[in-house]
Structure 1
Amino acid sequence: MGPTSVDRHDFPATGLRVAVPVSQEHPSHYAVRDLVSELISQGAVGKPITTPPLISRAIAKAQVSLPRRWRRRQEPVIVPMMGARFDQLYAAGLKGDVVPYCWDVWEPSWPLWVRRLRPLRPPAVFVTAQQSARFLGDALPQSQVIHLPEATRMARHDSGTCLAARTVGVLELGRRHPVWHEAVTEPLRRRSPLPHLYEAGPGRLVYPDEHALRRGLSQAMVSVCFPSSLTHPQRSGNVETMTQRYLESMASGCLVLGQAPPELVSLMGFNPVIEIDWRDPVQQVLDILASPSRWQPAVDRALSRLQEVGDWSVRVRAALERIRIIGLL
């Protein structure tokens, strides 16, 4: 699969830096890695975070920041934050004005985000969840808070196998909707010729590494995706946002079954998710598995549109354009 049609050199990020966090192998950090890589490919300079973690945490807890007049003399630093990693943010704040790029800004932690961001007065804040961006925009009037939806690296995914030739029937990665899972698990075991894969227990990943994950997605006919607000409301509150799993599934040529967050529908221009039929969820999924070719046009349409709007090259270009409008470059 080729890259999107966006020219990566239209907006070279001269004078911009990106904080490079310590590499982590958990799937949630693949997006951080790909964002950093794309920023560097579009001209940003990667700067590893070298402040010792204990010092970084102490600085964040004390909310210590350098005078803004001094920070503005340095090039801005984009700081990827997968969750409330304020130690990394405040460590980067020792190098210049910070521009946080934030995932997992869940409703119960909104007050914490405001308390930690306000002392730094970041000129711009990127947030992947639209509801959270709106809240932070109201709470941080001195910052430009900008919603940028999730993205993926399209070239990392293999979408080549048609649905009818796939060897995994239903794939539930990570979070599960307990009601749907309980309803379909036993009927699928008895009546589906293809396996139904899911985590045997919390934290026990279906696929042990990234290579296995990409290969597994490329062989899955149906990938089940629900917003975290439905599967883990105690963590997410009412924030209904699009996560990596939706994009990875579509980029891998899976048929996505579940519930589409409004952000995803807005990004794509249509709903690419087959919504759950709660009147008879078992028969719905069995019908899909029995006639996969019927659903191939829906998969192809979603993949084609995602190539236009879902790659990191597109998202980074939008981020750099906003940074220029604000006057940081």
Structure 2
Amino acid sequence: MKKLLLLEPVRKKGNHQFFMDWFARAWQAAGGGVKRRRAVPWPALLTIARLKLSAGLPLLFSQRPALLVPGAGYPDSFAWPYAYTHEIVPMLWDVWPRYWPRLISSLKRHHVRTFLCTSSRVCEYVRKELPHVHAVHVPEGIDPAGYLPGKDLRERPVDLLELGRQMPFFHRAAVRACREHPEWTHLSPAAEGPLLFPDFRSLCEGLASAKITVSYPRCDTHPDMAGEVETLTQRYWECMLSRTLPAGRAPQELVDLLGYNPVMEVSERNAQEQITRLLTDISSYQDLVDRNYRAALRHAPWEARLSALLPQLALLGYQP
């Protein structure tokens, strides 16, 4: 059994990278050890990644603990310089298709034998390209602390909330629906301008004030980036923990995890009529958002994810 320590996540100035920090805190809460990271400027790490300087040297790391390395895309910059002297177990987010060739190259150079990723599609790809690598799907989690269950739907002041990535046909339909119903409040970020919610607290309050929040996978809103990679993102958990009604489309990973679809599906055909029907009968969806809230409390926390992951890692020969 090989000792497995979490390598402290990289932190960029002005970007708290909540998802990595949340995962790291849950790992520590579960009793996992942490290896502190030396401070290296992010531009230097990017240069190292571009030059492909990071690699694994098995003769140096055979007797050392393995390192669980949180990162995005591929592990090079996140693992440097520790990959030279330790076996690394990458834990990756945002591995979009444009990164796949580099990901495979990186996994080979680092002699990776165990790979974790929040995307099931990416795990399938790694298993196909590198059959000797154990690719483990770890569905996206979140830290529920700070999110607010808010009032019941009919008592909320904001009717429609669009955050982050917009689905163009939904936005156009929402504008038309709200034009016909001027009593409805529709919040969406401007194409250029300040963030709708500039900090975490205002984001939580904003979600808790909305009756409906729009949620589509990135493969729908940005197919040029995500291609066919449909995956669960934290926005769905944020909606469910805030008891706002998610409208759009649910990734299959979320449906599989919960055993039901927590999202009211809105397709391009008759989108305006669908939005109008949801808002004019919003109280009838209270049972669904309450069910979503209970499901999120159970399934969303990283602690729940680690309770399933730690036995898998033990079977693969790692001791946290």
Alignment TM-score, normalising by the size of structure 2: 0.91
The structure 2 residue matched to 1:19, chosen from 8, 32, 40, is 8
The structure 1 residue matched to 2:198, chosen from 193, 196, 208, is 208
The structure 2 residue matched to 1:99, chosen from 89, 93, 103, is 89
1:35-62 C-alpha deviation (Å, 9 max, x unpaired): 0111111122333332524554454423
Q: Secondary structure at the match of 2:71?
A: strand
Give 5+ residue unaligned stretches, structure 1: 1-12
- Number of the residue aligned with 1:265: 255
In structure 2, how many angstroms separate the alpha carbons of the residues matched to 1:26 and 1:288?
A: 36
In structure 1, how many angstroms separate the alpha carbons of the residues matched to 2:265 and 2:163?
A: 17
In structure 2, how many angstroms separate the alpha carbons of the residues matched to 1:24 and 1:244?
A: 22
In structure 1, how many angstroms separate the alpha carbons of the residues matched to 2:172 and 2:115?
A: 40
Q: Which structure 1 residue ranges, 4+ long, deviate > 4 Å from structure 2? A: 23-27
Task: Report if the CA contact (8 A) 1:131-1:239 is conserved.
Answer: yes
Give 5+ residue unaligned stretches, structure 2: none
Instruction: Let me know the Cα RMSD of the aligned residues.
Output: 2.2
The CA deviation at 1:239 is: 0.6
| Cα separation, partners in 2 of 1:150 and 1:175, compared to 1, 3 Å | same
In structure 2, how many angstroms separate the alpha carbons of the residues matched to 1:76 and 1:256?
A: 40
Q: Given residue 186 of structure 1, which amino acid in structure 2 is its aligned partner?
A: R
Task: Report if the CA contact (8 A) 2:3-2:65 is conserved.
Answer: no
Task: Report if the CA contact (8 A) 1:151-1:312 is conserved.
Answer: yes
The CA deviation at 1:15 is: 5.1
Q: Percent identity?
A: 29
Task: Report if the CA contact (8 A) 2:4-2:67 is conserved.
Answer: no
The CA deviation at 1:66 is: 4.1
Q: Secondary structure at the match of 1:253?
A: coil
Q: Given residue 71 of structure 2, which amino acid in structure 1 is its aligned partner?
A: M
Aligned length: 316
The CA deviation at 1:202 is: 5.3
Task: Report if the CA contact (8 A) 2:217-2:251 is conserved.
Answer: yes
Q: Given residue 108 of structure 2, which amino acid in structure 1 is its aligned partner?
A: R
Q: Does 1:176 align with 2:161?
A: no
Q: Given residue 269 of structure 2, which amino acid in structure 1 is its aligned partner?
A: R
1:89-142 C-alpha deviation (Å, 9 max, x unpaired): 233314522111111111232111111221112231111111111001222233
Deviates more, 1:51-60 or 1:95-104: 51-60
Task: Report if the CA contact (8 A) 1:21-1:48 is conserved.
Answer: no
In structure 1, how many angstroms separate the alpha carbons of the residues matched to 2:257 and 2:82?
A: 31
- Number of the residue aligned with 1:8: none
Q: Does 1:282 align with 2:272?
A: yes
The CA deviation at 1:193 is: 2.3
In structure 2, how many angstroms separate the alpha carbons of the residues matched to 1:171 and 1:91?
A: 43
The structure 2 residue matched to 1:71, chosen from 61, 65, 73, is 61
The CA deviation at 1:277 is: 4.5
